[in-house]
Every structure is written in C-alpha cells, then in structure tokens.
C-alpha cells in the first residue's frame, strides 16, 4: 500500500483489487502481486517531473448508487486535468 499511495499512483487500481484478498490469498493473487513487484522493479528509473510553473489542477468527481440505498453499491468516477 505504501508503494501505491506514496510513490506509484499508476498501480492504485490493481493494488486496491489485490488488497481485498489479503486475508485469503490464492495462487492467482500471489502471481498478480509478483507481477506488480516486477513492474515496480523494472520501472524504478521512470519518473514524471514537473518544472515550476503555474499549473492548475481541476478535478471532476461523480458518484451514484447502482442498486439503491439498501444494497449500498455505488460507482465513483473521477478525472483530473492540468490546465
């Protein structure tokens, strides 16, 4: 989770899915974790750097309930842009 939150936002979705199964990992989950670690190792030298500028981050977030309030299932969508 540290790798996702503090260093690699591009693996956030897959880490969120894998973390649901941490209490009962199967073979497929372990192979997915190994693949994530391999990806991190192979891309250690890759970085996205921004120079000092007047960039403005705009965010758009939307959510709605899929099956009603009683089942508490919802979908969230978000988008960030740099202007």
> How does pLDDT run across 47-77, given as a tens digit for each residue?
767 677 787 888 888 877 666 556 667 778 8
- Within a domain: residue 47? no
Q: What is the pLDDT of residue 6?
A: 67
**Total number of domains in the chain:** 1
Q: At CB < 8 A and 24+ separation, what contacts does 2-10 make?
A: 3/40, 8/40
* DSSP character string of 20-46: TTTTS--HHHHHHHHHHHHHHHHTTT-
Residue 82, judged by CB atoms within 10 A of its CB (0-12, 13-18, 19+), counts as: exposed
Inform me whether the pLDDT recorded for 29 exceeds 70: yes
Assign 31 a pLDDT band (cuts: 50, 70, 90).
Answer: very high
Mean pLDDT of 35-51: 82
Q: Domain residues for 28?
A: 2-42
- Within a domain: residue 51? no
CA nearest neighbour of 40 among 78, 1, 72, 77:
1
Mean pLDDT of the chain: 79
């Amino acid at each position: 989770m540290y790798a996702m939150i503090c260093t690699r936002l591009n693996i956030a979705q897959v880490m969120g899915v894998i973390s649901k199964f941490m209490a009962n990992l199967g073979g497929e989950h372990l192979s997915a974790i190994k693949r994530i670690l391999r990806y991190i190792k192979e891309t250690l030298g890759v970085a996205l750097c921004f120079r000092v500028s007047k960039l403005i981050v705009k965010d758009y977030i939307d959510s709605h309930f899929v099956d009603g309030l009683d089942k508490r299932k919802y979908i969230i969508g978000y988008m960030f842009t740099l202007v």
